[in-house]
Amino acid sequence: MKLNILEKVKNVAKSISEFDVNKLKEADYKKLAKDFVYGKPHGERRLGDLYLPKTGLYKHREWRGLKDTFYYFNMIWLYNYAHMVTDIMKYGGLPAFVRGLWRYRWMGQTYLPVMHWFDRGLEGLRGEALRASAWHYRAMTSETIRQFMRMFAADVSNGGSKELHDHTLAHDETVWGGIFYPWRNNFDDVPLQMIPYFVTCHVNNHTVLHYIDAVQSIGLPGDPCPMCQAEAGIFVDDDMPDYYPAFVTSNEACDGSVATSVLQDWMINKPLFAMPQPMQFDDPLVLEHCEREIEECWKFIEEQTGQPFNFELLKEYLEKQNKLQEFEWEKWDVAANTNYYPINGVAQALYRIYQSQDGYRDIWAETDKKVRKILNKVVEKKIDSFPLTRHRVIAWSCAPLYYSNWCTWAYNCWGLNCIINRDSLMFDMTIRTDTYENCLHDMAVYHEWAPMRRMAVGGMHHIFELWDYMERFHCDMVMMYDQLQCKGMQGVHGLFEDEFRARNIHAIWMPHALPDKRVVSRAEIRQIVNDYMTTVMHEEPLDPSLLDFDDGESW
């Protein structure tokens, strides 16, 4: 420690002695002032120089010019910290929060550094893109707090309320929250893994490794999907609040998911309803089966809650959800046909998958209202939100963009602008509410189009819808996720290689193991992109400081 301080003092003394006064004289003050007021232009930013080695922490946060820096400070950093407090008070109060924080690893280790999640995702953004993307992050943070506060407030194993416990239903995160709309007036539905697993990985990817190790410690091999492993590991590690009397699960999306349910059922040991989706969902013959499964699930919920199914309530929520979908289409339209789309790839993807899977919540509607204003503004004023876009990229297959943090980096470093991703395109429909039959029909289809089912393991021809979407969104490059432990996508690897070659498409294969950075690190992912961009595309980086840096211990 002493040596360190001495060395630092020596270094400072050395730099003072080497300081060249001429440099001060020669400095371009006009340029400095301009950079101070407006921020450095893309290409001169050297964002990589801001990182402290290994940690991903900043020497100092990015100076984005006066307006955007203070927007970030006031409306993102301060605003979100303040709202985290108010959200906690609103959704259950400080005692429940502290109990949860003290008991559950995923809570304390993960959610406290949430502002760094914002930092990583919003790095380099300016103007309307910064604002619109940040609102997406804000909504996800708020909904996350609402969910974990409900878990803690109803957690009977940790001082929570029995009454709330009996009024909360749990479901696998791949079961669409809309199934529970008919009970939303008196009951809440909280997915089991959305908060302890899915969101935690984005915020702090240290936590999830613990759960993967936990499930392997009881004998599970290391090759099943790491997402499923982690989701099972949370239960094996006894790190799940006891907030529900019964739960609903599904086979979405794959063998690993079904198998995980078996292990979870053992650990949970409560009434379980399995609501599987048909695998061959294009077959019109499967629809009736799917509809009946949903209806049986409703009967199960009625039995567990003692409250009858309420079609009027279902309609009310579905109509609100349809509004969210209609706005999503507007967003896609702007993204596909203009350069003005102000939402970066990671905000688009995460918000969309979170919202569509979770079902309607007020926060989504409030956020969409704010984003709509921004969207209207950029379109009216023709503001190019990502002006240094060199390639319009579509991201395809099982997505790690949240964990790997490649998306924001790729734009800053190489001008690769991720316009849309596969997960966003899943629930591409509204649901009719005119009659019970139409409603049930559409809900079954919606349920069948769950994430990954439609474009990872639900029939090979859907996977190849990529080409149509490339055209629709005017993309010239594919970021092809190569989830090393997804059997469905690994099983179609060669055909994609053939198609890319035959169609002369630039595709970067990005190996990853979802949240398990020990298998493929962020640095390895960046290196693969760097190699492709230099050796195949023969391009120069926009920000060379981002080419190679060590963030191995970062969140």
**482-501 positions binding another protein, by CB under 8 A:** 484-485, 487-488, 490-495, 497
3-class DSSP state for residue 155?
Answer: coil
DSSP state letter for 285:
G
The reply on whether position 34 binds another protein by CB under 8 A is no
The reply on whether position 238 binds another protein by CB under 8 A is yes
Task: Please give the Cα distance from 528 to 121 (Å, whole number).
Answer: 20
Please report how close the Cβ of residue 61 comes to another protein at its closest, in angstroms: 6
Task: Please tell me the count of residues contacting another protein according to CB under 8 A.
Answer: 85
Please report how close the Cβ of residue 273 comes to another protein at its closest, in angstroms: 5
CA distances from 289 to 285, 427, 442, 448 (A): 8, 20, 13, 11
**Which of 176, 273, 402, 469 lies at the binding interface for another protein (CB under 8 A)?**
273
Q: Would you give the distance in Å from CA 87 to the centre of its chain?
A: 20
The reply on whether position 460 binds another protein by CB under 8 A is yes
Please report how close the Cβ of residue 444 comes to another protein at its closest, in angstroms: 12
Task: Please give the Cα distance from 11 to 269 (Å, whole number).
Answer: 61
> Which tokens go with 41?
């232009």
The reply on whether position 232 binds another protein by CB under 8 A is yes
Contact segment (CB under 8 A) with another protein among 3-11, 134-142, 329-337, 480-488 equals 480-488
Tokens 């339209």 correspond to 333
DSSP state letter for 282:
T
According to CB under 8 A, which residues from 298 to 317 bind another protein? 299-300
**Which of 75, 79, 113, 209 lies at the binding interface for another protein (CB under 8 A)?**
113
Task: Please give the Cα distance from 528 to 526 (Å, whole number).
Answer: 5
The reply on whether position 59 binds another protein by CB under 8 A is yes
Contact segment (CB under 8 A) with another protein among 283-291, 315-323, 345-353, 415-423 equals 283-291
**Which of 133, 147, 174, 261 lies at the binding interface for another protein (CB under 8 A)?**
261
The reply on whether position 160 binds another protein by CB under 8 A is no
Contact segment (CB under 8 A) with another protein among 70-78, 145-153, 179-187, 430-438 equals 70-78
Give the residue with the Cβ less far from another protein, 36 or 329: 36
Please report how close the Cβ of residue 494 comes to another protein at its closest, in angstroms: 3
**DSSP for 376-444?**
HHHHHHT--SSTT--EEEEEESS--HHHH-HHHHHHHHH-EEEEEEGGGGTT------SSHHHHHHHHH
**Which of 73, 329, 436, 467 lies at the binding interface for another protein (CB under 8 A)?**
73
According to CB under 8 A, which residues from 202 to 231 bind another protein? 204, 206, 214, 218-221, 223-225, 228
Helix, strand, coil content of the chain in percent (nearest 5): 60, 10, 30
The reply on whether position 235 binds another protein by CB under 8 A is yes
The reply on whether position 193 binds another protein by CB under 8 A is no
The reply on whether position 292 binds another protein by CB under 8 A is yes
According to CB under 8 A, which residues from 90 to 109 bind another protein? 102-103, 105, 108-109
Helix (H) or strand (E) holding 156: none
Pairing mode, strands 272-274 and 247-249 = parallel
Evaluate whether 394 touches 310 at the Cβ level (below 8 Å): no
Q: Would you give the distance in Å from CA 439 to the centre of its chain?
A: 29
The reply on whether position 116 binds another protein by CB under 8 A is yes
